[in-house]
Chains A and B, each alone.
Chain A
Amino acid sequence: MKDLLRLKTSLKEEIENILNEQIKVEAHSSSIYLAMSSWCDDQGLDYSAQFFEKQAAEERVHMMKFFKYVNDRGGRAISPEIKNIPKDFESFRAVFEMALEQEMHVTQQINNIADKCMKSKDFVTFQFLQWFLEEQIEEEYVARRILEIFDVVGEEGTGRWEIDKHVQKVSYSGE
């Protein structure tokens, strides 16, 4: 009997489902960053607003990489429904704490996918994930370093203004 399933798709159902879940996670991240950008803009924190706008665009690029991969391998990528995006945030610092938590959550999710790929011997998808795992080093580093600036500079006086200015300068060289 013909193997119609493999003629159609190279992805196992379990892997396709978790990749679609990841599409949702990335889209959710993108929307949260956009909400953070809007909040920062409203608070007069221009550089942070730009930082989060750029982060939102990056998360969408990540989402599209997963989206395209699922379709390219013969699966069916599902356009995600995004709900529960906060509109208000407790404080300037809380925004960056939430950003770090979000990045740590994404890293954990990608680790889980990599683990499932190894167990089901899907080394093609495992290889595809390597780029994301490396990317997460940078994402977590940047969010963590910005939080450290809060401790170094302090929020009193012109502290918030100073921190906002420094946000754009934080980068990861990987060396």
Chain B
Amino acid sequence: MCRNFNCLDELYRTEFGAVYQCNLKNCYWLEFAGEWYSLNVSDFLFFKKEVDSIDIVSMLVDSSRHSDVVVLQSYRARRCFVLNAVEILQLKDLLSAARFMIELNSVIQECLSYSPSTSVK
């Protein structure tokens, strides 16, 4: 998907990555670990749920080598994420904050579309 910086709104940025909203293509861009991933709204919400469901504690407690990393596949991102425990925490923080900003934008839009004249008689 073409990445046009002119129509990207930054939703949230940490020192490890950022999430942008593309108003032209109605999608989100995730910038993480030097890579860019585009996700539509549904995929973004689903991807966040996948990341949130990773059990970090059992990863850390498990001494087997395969538990050091988690492989996450987002079908339409055309890439997979291979993440260690620290990266998962960084990604969780970033996605949660971006999700909050998306929700905040909805609340603001709702307030702006609410006309006080309809309630004041």
Q: What residues make up the interface of A, taking CB atoms closer than 8 Å to B? A: 1-9, 13, 76
Contact = CB atoms under 8 A, between A and B. Distances in A.
A1 B23 contact: yes
Contact of A5 (B23, B27, B46, B105): B105
- Interface of B (DSSP majority class): helix
A130 B106 CA distance: 27
A4 B105 CA distance: 9
Contacts of B110: 6
A76 B42 contact: yes
A1 B9 contact: yes
Interface of B: 9, 21, 23, 26-28, 41-42, 45-46, 99, 102-103, 105-106, 109-110
A76 B26 contact: no
A30 to B, nearest CB: 25
Nearest to A17: B49
Given A3-B105, A6-B109, 16 more contacts: A1-B9, A1-B21, A1-B23, A3-B106, A4-B21, A4-B27, A4-B28, A4-B41, A5-B41, A5-B106, A6-B110, A7-B41, A8-B41, A13-B45, A13-B99, A76-B42
